[in-house]
């Protein structure tokens, strides 16, 4: 039987996410990013197409590594302006009943007590459709504006993230008993105080002695996503993630990553099928292969070198202006995101990448592979990626904001559904149920969060 693919639409609450210069295309929706009704219409479209959810990237820094300045990023709207995605969710949730919402939020400049409250609130307002993409941040600009001025070292950021998640899990899972809210008018008892417990957390980075602010939400813990690909990132994902977002550029590389993650999940005592892996992918489609190819060529002609380099320099923590655009990039190590550097230096040992090659590649949809074609070809390719690598689905980026996913919903979704490779309706109502099946609204029993209540009060 064909495995049904998980599908998220990858987006950003700003005019331009991953593609460089493409906001200039007449069909691009960049100028609508401040329109709540545009996002609400988009949510309805995604739910009509049976997507698992929309997945928002977010970044509390900006790209100012390229030429030591933010100017190139500003000119291309390269992930700036950047509005907070969380505020879009309640409106999109009110217009839908099944669509999930992944929201990226950093462990570097927030506090677990306030983050846990924000996500519990969103889980209540979406009736259990929220996911948290845990990131450790990579931009020095964020550290200058929000932190101590300088980023913590890469691995130390992961140490903080591990404890951050532990505290958040204690708050979501271990503070309020399921039946703590009694609303008993006769005794004037809204909450039974004997059923709300302090978490008594005292660790290296956080001290949270008290009780949580929110009552249990439908999922209690939001679905935990993770994206970092370094060894610390994979270890964190194997221990605590329920969905992992990968951005491999080849099937061989992706299969290695998936196998490694699943093996580490087993070592951590978890069933590897309790982690859904979604690969970043960009699809440019139309009614026929020829029309899709024509669109791709229009996009390629608009790619902006400076905008692409502004993004890549920020992601990799490496000023690409210090390299000749036409000379292959040497293997380098940085304190930002190792994944982004490794991506091109290790992707294909037989190919040396120049900055110009990288700009052309990432200019359409960022680091994701790009599939160009009509419904048959795209469906063949997507199913092939799943079969050859063991992934569970895709986080679909775009060349043009809104438009490419609208085309995907119109042309590719019916073909995938016809082949039994995509759902035709929703089985459950929460995001966790979208990913793991009806009845799975709460953390799986082998997740470290599932046994926390036992340790705190049972």
| Residue ranges in contact with ligand FMN by CB under 6 A | 57-59, 104, 106, 135-138, 227-230, 233, 245, 247, 280, 337-339
Q: What is the Cα–Cα distance from 170 to 160, expressed in whole angstroms?
A: 15
Nearest distance in Å: CB 336, ligand FMN: 7
Considering the complex, state which of residue 217 and residue 339 has its C-beta at the smaller distance from ligand FMN: 339
Considering the complex, state which of residue 55 and residue 176 has its C-beta at the smaller distance from ligand FMN: 55
Considering the complex, state which of residue 230 and residue 288 has its C-beta at the smaller distance from ligand FMN: 230
Strands 100-106 and 130-135, sheet pairing: parallel
Nearest distance in Å: CB 106, ligand FMN: 6
Exposed e or buried b per residue across 75-105, where buried means at least 16 C-beta atoms within 10 angstroms of its C-beta: ebbbbbebeebbebbeebbebbebbbbbbbb
Considering the complex, state which of residue 280 and residue 405 has its C-beta at the smaller distance from ligand FMN: 280
CA-based nearest residue to 403, from 293, 282, 310, 318 = 282
Nearest distance in Å: CB 447, ligand FMN: 20
Considering the complex, state which of residue 21 and residue 397 has its C-beta at the smaller distance from ligand FMN: 397
Nearest distance in Å: CB 368, ligand FMN: 8
Nearest distance in Å: CB 38, ligand FMN: 21
In order of 78, 135, 231, 342, 418, the CA distances from 249 in angstroms are: 21, 21, 18, 11, 28
Nearest distance in Å: CB 251, ligand FMN: 17
Residue 183 CB coordination number (10 Å)? 8
Considering the complex, state which of residue 343 and residue 452 has its C-beta at the smaller distance from ligand FMN: 343
Strands (E) across 13-94 are located at 53-56
Nearest distance in Å: CB 123, ligand FMN: 20
DSSP for 356-400 reads: HHHHHHHTTTTTS-EEEE-HHHHHHHHHHHHHHH---EEEEE-SS
Considering the complex, state which of residue 108 and residue 302 has its C-beta at the smaller distance from ligand FMN: 108
Residue 26 CB coordination number (10 Å)? 7
Q: What is the 3-state secondary structure (H, E, C) of 277-339?
A: EEEEEEEEECCCHHHHHHHHHHHHHHCCHHHHHHHHHHHHCCCHHHCCCCCCCCCCCCCCCHH
Nearest distance in Å: CB 236, ligand FMN: 8
Considering the complex, state which of residue 208 and residue 238 has its C-beta at the smaller distance from ligand FMN: 238
Q: What is the Cα–Cα distance from 418 to 420, expressed in whole angstroms?
A: 6
């Amino acid at each position: 039987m064909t495995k049904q693919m998980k599908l998220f639409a990858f987006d950003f609450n700003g005019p331009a996410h991953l593609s460089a210069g493409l906001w200039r295309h007449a069909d691009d929706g960049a100028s609508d990013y401040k329109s709540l009704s545009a996002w609400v219409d988009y949510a309805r479209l995604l739910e009509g197409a049976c997507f698992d959810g929309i997945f928002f990237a977010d970044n509390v820094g900006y790209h100012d590594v390229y030429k030591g300045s933010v100017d190139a990023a500003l000119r291309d709207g390269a992930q700036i302006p950047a509005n907070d995605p969380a505020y879009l969710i309640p409106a999109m949730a009110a217009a839908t009943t099944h669509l999930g919402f992944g929201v990226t939020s950093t462990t570097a400049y927030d506090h677990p007590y306030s983050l846990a409250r924000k996500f519990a609130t969103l889980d209540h307002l979406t009736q259990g459709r929220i996911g948290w993409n845990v990131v450790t941040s990579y931009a020095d600009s964020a550290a200058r504006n929000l932190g101590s001025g300088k980023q913590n070292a890469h691995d130390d950021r992961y140490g903080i993230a591990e404890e951050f998640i532990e505290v958040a899990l204690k708050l979501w899972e271990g503070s309020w008993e399921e039946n703590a809210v009694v609303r008993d008018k006769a005794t004037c008892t809204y909450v039974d105080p004997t059923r709300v417990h302090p978490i008594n957390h005292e660790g290296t980075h956080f001290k949270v002695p008290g009780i949580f602010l929110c009552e249990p939400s439908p999922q209690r813990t939001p679905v935990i996503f993770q994206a970092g690909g370094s060894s610390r990132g994979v270890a964190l994902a194997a221990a605590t993630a329920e969905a992992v977002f990968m951005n491999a550029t080849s099937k061989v590389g992706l299969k290695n990553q998936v196998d490694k993650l699943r093996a580490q999940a087993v070592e951590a005592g978890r069933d590897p099928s309790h982690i859904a892996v979604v690969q970043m992918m960009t699809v440019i489609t139309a009614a026929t292969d020829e029309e899709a190819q024509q669109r791709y060529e229009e996009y390629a002609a608009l790619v902006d070198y400076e905008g692409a380099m502004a993004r890549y320099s920020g992601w990799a923590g490496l000023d690409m202006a210090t390299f000749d655009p036409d000379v292959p990039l040497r293997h380098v190590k940085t304190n930002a995101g190792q994944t982004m550097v490794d991506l091109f230096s290790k992707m294909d040992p037989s190919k040396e990448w120049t900055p110009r090659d990288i700009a052309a590649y990432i200019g359409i949809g960022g680091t994701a592979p790009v599939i160009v074609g009509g419904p048959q070809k795209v469906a063949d390719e997507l199913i092939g990626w799943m079969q050859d690598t063991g992934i569970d689905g895709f986080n679909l980026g775009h060349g043009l904001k809104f438009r490419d996913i609208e085309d995907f919903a119109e042309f590719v979704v019916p073909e995938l559904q016809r082949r039994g490779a995509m759902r035709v309706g929703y089985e459950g109502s929460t995001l966790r149920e979208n990913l793991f099946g009806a009845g799975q609204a709460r953390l799986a029993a082998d997740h470290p969060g599932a046994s926390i209540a036992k340790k705190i009060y049972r």
